[in-house]
Copies of this chain bind each other. A is one copy, B any other.
Amino acid sequence: MAIAVVGSIGLDTIETPAGRVTEVLGGSAAYFALSARYFLPVSVVAVVGQDFPAEARATLQQAGLDLSGLEVSEGKTFRWEGVYSDDMNTRKTLRTELNVFERFKPKLPRETRALKTVFLANIDPVLQGDVLDQLEKPQLVLADTMNYWIQSKRAELLGILRRVRMLIINEEEAREITGEAVTHKAARAILSLGPETVVVKQGEHGAFLQGRDEYFSCPAYPIGTVVDPTGAGDTFAGGFVGALARMGRVNDRNLRRAVVYGCVLASFTVEGFGVTGLLRASREAILDRAEGIASMSRFDLSDTARILR
């Protein structure tokens, strides 16, 4: 029982009010895998260039990830550079160099094709479709996407939505896919496009899960000293998918708990630059923060039936 992720691995240059780092390990597949591996073994399908630093590879290897699907291609590794606003709720991309990622054609190793749980991170929906075609017995396939694909490859993306079980996206993307201005209406509209469940990431506000007859809202674990929000969304997805696959059965009870673990894992990522915060998460701290979210969202309404005049 393992999880496959197909996405990007790159070198990020990040500036936040807390400081700046240059060409550190990043990419959706890296954050997802380093998060999900707390729950289950993870196979990474991605591409890097010949310049991919040995330390970055060592970080992935020491985390116990299966890198047999990590292709090393002629050329340079994907690079991204961005700067965050003072409140870190918005960011500006200064530079995107696709490099080897531009010609990426995901090829799943034989063992990875047999995996039942697969996360299609934010890549071209055409490539997401190629991955789906390679899967032998998909049971729990989840996808992410972004504004760029919603605008430029809408038809292909809608085709993917019909083929995946769950979609994990952020609020703006939910609204953009559906054209619904109100997020909750947008989430429900996505259910008519294919997925049985949609999980909407709300950044510092947590996340909510919308199913046909299910709605669950989970607060973010409050972090006083946010250092770098990069990768928090992919980390959330890793925690959500990892916990859900580990629990085995997909039902409302487990879906809710998976959202909680997604929020917990994301809280570690924002505490350090790049993947450093996520790497520092201990078993004890993860369980502690899950209990923390439970106690910070708990209340009882007993004796309030006569609270109204």
Q: Which residues does A use to contact B, with CB under 8 Å?
A: 17, 37-40, 86-88, 175, 181-185, 188, 202, 204-206, 208, 215-219, 222-226, 243, 246-247, 253, 256-257, 259-261, 283, 286-287, 290-291, 294, 296-301, 304-305, 307-309
Contact = CB atoms under 8 A, between A and B. Distances in A.
A86 B299 CA distance: 34
14 contacts: A17-B181, A38-B309, A39-B309, A87-B182, A87-B183, A182-B224, A184-B204, A188-B224, A215-B222, A218-B299, A243-B307, A253-B299, A257-B301, A283-B308
A257 B304 contact: yes
Given A39-B307, A88-B182, A257-B300, 16 more contacts: A17-B181, A38-B308, A87-B175, A87-B182, A182-B204, A183-B204, A184-B223, A206-B217, A216-B299, A217-B222, A243-B304, A243-B307, A257-B299, A287-B308, A291-B301, A297-B297
A248 to B, nearest CB: 11
Given A88-B181, A184-B222, A307-B247, A260 B299 contact: yes
A223 B307 contact: no
B204 A208 contact: no
A92 B193 CA distance: 34
A262 to B, nearest CB: 12
Contacts of A87: 175, 181-183
A185 B224 contact: yes
A40 B224 contact: no
A225 B307 contact: no
Contacts of A291: 301
Given A86-B181, A202-B205, A309 B217 contact: no
A185 B287 CA distance: 23
A113 to B, nearest CB: 23
A1 to B, nearest CB: 11
A226 B296 contact: no
Contact of A224 (B184, B204, B246): B184
A286 B299 contact: no
Contacts of A223: 182, 184
Given A175-B87, A257-B304, A217 B182 contact: no
A209 to B, nearest CB: 10
